[in-house]
Amino acid sequence: MKDAAWTIPSIRAALQNKKVSARELTSDFFARIERRNPELNAFLALSPERAFAQAGSMDEMITRSEPLPPLAGVPIAIKDVISTRGVRTTCGSRILENYVPPYDATAVSRLESAGAILLGKTNCDEFAMGSSTENSAYSPVRNPVALDRVPGGSSGGSAAAVAAGLAVASLGTDTGGSIRQPGALCGIPAMMGTYGRVSRYGLIAFASSLDRIGPFASTVQDVASVLAVISGRDSSDSTSVPVPVPDYSEELDRPIRGMRVGIPREYFGEGMNPSVRQKVENGIKLLESLGCVPVELRMPHTDYAIATYYIVATAEASSNLARYDGVRYGLRVPGATLLDMYKKTRGRGFGPEVKRRIMLGTYALSSGYYDAYYLKAQKVRALIARDFTQAFQQVDAIVTPTSPSPAFRLGEKTDNPLEMYLADIYTVTGSLAGVPGISVPCGKTPEGLPVGMQIFSAYFQESRVLQLAHAFEQAGGFAL
């Protein structure tokens, strides 16, 4: 039996017409997870008590004919780097194997206040560091489209859960591409808003100046609905911005005719898989047929983005991850002295990629190397951001491939960290600049692997990104 493909509007209609109750829907999703998760490994923890309590209160609202909140009864999954009160949150790491947060992230409490049903926590690369979800301490996630391949990363579990129909929407986090790239590799839309659009309160930090929370769903419309709920100023995160949040769903159908779409030459160079190139170029032609005006652009600092990113992000990570010392929470490995305990706890608690990045970041911040690496990278970051600001003086949006290749095979890139880092080549630029971006499906390779097209817009122009992606999805018929 094929699972029903629910969306946020179809759930709302079914609940209101009493075709299904929120409890029944929740049971159905847990049954799907029980059936599919053993092969996919998308979920690390389930929260049935919390889910059924929420479903019960939604059903009571329906019985009393009360107006339903925007995400009433929508089953969602949360990446395991986002704190959930009373639900184990490991960050895909042994060092937090038994960690149960005493509070909820703001994004999670906003989703629940909007009626969403929290199914559980999704697998990811350890502390969100990776592009394949193979760096999870709890075994990799498999791509539901092709089980011998990775789902992308680091939010691989969140992408796989939605692509496999085990959740209607999910939250991921994006630091260098960790929402957009798994969205592309699993064939679903996936979005990050402007840096600061969504509160990071309760997001366990990797690189604070880059980290963003954002949604996966099976349609752009559902992405818009979830983004609208989680966006907005939060006094608990001083970097969250007080810019008003438009009704993204309301603005979704605005015409895109006449929009100027920048095609930066630097994103179409060597190293791209030929069928990815073909699908994205076809995608641009489709946008043109919808009335968009393609504009060739130069973004001259694009080629420096990976080097910049892997200094800035690792430097911030080395500082943020200093908190895992075995004193207050998480793993403690006993030692003869306090320092010995720190070193043993961290040496055994962290996996290879996390240690590699802590080492790189510590080196980049160390006395004698700070100016040559960290300061230099911060300056190049400013140049990369300037490329975007200048581009948006000429165009309304920028269109690029999301990832240079479709989903690769498990184990294919694990021996060479630098090669894995290059999987982020088209996504890190927007991360460094802080602009909003989406990956939207734009077809499949001859082997049947999904290809994603990335759309950026200027700061706080999330609506424009969503309008383009929605029109593209409607015209192209690439929705799952």
Partner 1 sequence: MKITREQVIRVAELAHLELSEAELDLYSRQLDSILAYVEKLNELDTTQVQPMAQVFSGDSDAENASAREDLSRPSDVASAVLHIAPDPSPPYFRVPRVIDR
Q: Considering only residues 94, 277, 344, 444, which one is a binding residue for partner 1 as defined by CB under 8 A? A: 344
Is 102 a binder of partner 1 (CB under 8 A)? yes
SS3 assignment for 56-121: HHHHHHHHCCCCCCCCCCCEEEEECCECECCECCCCCCHHHCCCCCCCCCHHHHHHHHCCCEEEEE
Is 389 a binder of partner 1 (CB under 8 A)? no
For the segment 218-247, give every residue that binds partner 1 (CB under 8 A).
233, 235, 238-243
Contact string (CB under 8 A) for partner 1, positions 50-89, x = contact: ----------------------------------------
The secondary element (H helix, E strand) that includes residue 451 is: strand 450-457
Is 388 a binder of partner 1 (CB under 8 A)? no
- List Cα–Cα distances, 386 to 50, 288, 302, 342, 391, in angstroms: 45, 26, 11, 41, 8
Size of the site for partner 1 (CB under 8 A): 76
Contact 132, 391 (CB under 8 A): no
Single out the catalytic residue among 131, 136, 158, 178. Answer: 178
Q: Which two tokens stand for residue 466?
A: 């969503």
Is 196 a binder of partner 1 (CB under 8 A)? yes
Single out the catalytic residue among 109, 132, 154, 439. Answer: 154
Separation between Cα atoms, residue 440 and residue 276, nearest integer Å: 13
**Residue 27 known to be catalytic:** no
**Residue 121 known to be catalytic:** no
Q: Considering only residues 62, 295, 307, 480, which one is a binding residue for partner 1 as defined by CB under 8 A? A: 307
Residue keyed to tokens 């930090």: 205
Listing from the earlier edge strand, what are the strands of the sheet with 397-401?
43-46, 117-122, 75-79, 169-174, 212-217, 190-192, 437-444, 450-457, 397-401, 260-264, 293-297
- Least gap, CB of 310 to partner 1 (angstroms): 7
**Residue 79 known to be catalytic:** yes
Is 341 a binder of partner 1 (CB under 8 A)? yes
| 45: amino acid identity, one letter | A
Q: Considering only residues 6, 29, 460, 472, which one is a binding residue for partner 1 as defined by CB under 8 A? A: 460
- Least gap, CB of 354 to partner 1 (angstroms): 10
Is 339 a binder of partner 1 (CB under 8 A)? yes
- Least gap, CB of 78 to partner 1 (angstroms): 19
Catalytic residue set: 79, 154, 178
